[in-house]
Structure 1
Amino acid sequence: MNIPRNLRRYLRPAQLLLARGRLPGLLLAVSRKGSGGGLQLGRLKGALQLLQGLCLAWWRGEYRAVSKQALLSVVAGLLYFLSPLDAVPDWLLGVGFLDDLAVLAWVVRTWRGELDAYQAWRAQRTPGELAVIERLPSADEPSAQHK
């Protein structure tokens, strides 16, 4: 697998974040950043929602059929999206999110099979189940790993 150079440096922090149980904080921050941005984020929102949903389902212990490498790549991609000082700084109007879009597109394209499997699993859930599974965690909510 040929990981983009600008994403590669986020793999180790992603590994540490997962090991230390800090995924909820990342997802809350990604949600805050993803809810702003208007038209600049338009093309990213669908990918962000899919990746966040996968992470939330994994974190809650509801969906574990994702490989460690795919999960690590997804978390690294979300860290990259969150970083204001990536290859093209987000504050550059009009172009600041282009590199974020490229990285997230790479994650989605590379792990398409895993994401398709997650979407198939998700399609078998009721709206009520999904509301619980994909609800953003509170700061003090324990993960399924620690229950």
Structure 2
Amino acid sequence: MPSFSRRKAKQQLDREAGKIRSEDVGDLLSRQQAIEDKVQNSGKLQRFSSDIKLMFSMLRDYWQGNYREVPWKSVAAIAGALVYVMNPMDVIPDLIMGFGFIDDAGVVALCLKMVESDLLRYAAWKQNKEEPWTSQPS
């Protein structure tokens, strides 16, 4: 039975995040649907579906210049985690039934823990931006 520790997840996340360049974010955004489909069709990753959508939303707003209140380290960690999910031949190949997504889930969970405060701030910003302003009668 393949095992995947928190230490191994951190190593993989650090490795992927360290490779991310600004121009990689655009390429990753073009693969959003494929990654979301993979997440939806995997038992271990499915629970992260809404978190991954939020990650993509923040990356897209960052890429388009709409939201820059996030450190590059968090952008790179999110992009690195999503690139890792996209790779079918990672530490535990996705082809191994029942175990193939354990490492992907571990990397995503660690990433979420690392960038939680940045994602919460982004979600609040996004909600405030999308809420229609209502005027109070004077």
- Structure 2 length-normalised TM: 0.78
Over the aligned positions, Cα root-mean-square deviation in angstroms equals 2.1
Equivalent residue in structure 2 for 1:82, among 62, 79, 86 = 86
Q: Structure 1's 127 and 92: CA in aligned 2 closer, same or farther, altered over 3 A?
A: farther
Match of 1:23 in 2: 25
Q: SS at 2:129's partner residue?
A: coil
Residues 1-147 of structure 1 aligned to structure 2 (within 5 Å): 4-15=10-21, 18=22, 21-36=23-38, 37-40=40-43, 41-126=45-130
Q: SS at 1:55's partner residue?
A: helix
Deviations 1:71-129 (A, max 9, x none): 1111111111111121111122222111111111111111111111001001112279x
Q: Structure 1's 81 and 54: CA in aligned 2 closer, same or farther, altered over 3 A?
A: same
> Which residues of structure 1 form unaligned runs of 5+?
129-147
> Between Structure 1 and Structure 2, whose CA radius of gyration is higher?
2
Give the letter for the 1:11 counterpart.
A
Give the letter for the 2:96 counterpart.
L
Rounded to whole Å, the distance in 2 between the matches of 1:85 and 1:115 is: 28
Match of 1:142 in 2: none
Structure 1 residue 39, shift from structure 2 partner: 4.7
Q: Structure 1's 47 and 24: CA in aligned 2 closer, same or farther, altered over 3 A?
A: same
Deviations 1:42-97 (A, max 9, x none): 21312210110110010111100001111111111111111112111112222211
- Structure 1 length-normalised TM: 0.74
Q: Structure 1's 24 and 109: CA in aligned 2 closer, same or farther, altered over 3 A?
A: same
Aligned residues: 123
Q: SS at 1:10's partner residue?
A: helix
Q: Structure 1's 89 and 39: CA in aligned 2 closer, same or farther, altered over 3 A?
A: closer
Identity of aligned residues (%): 24
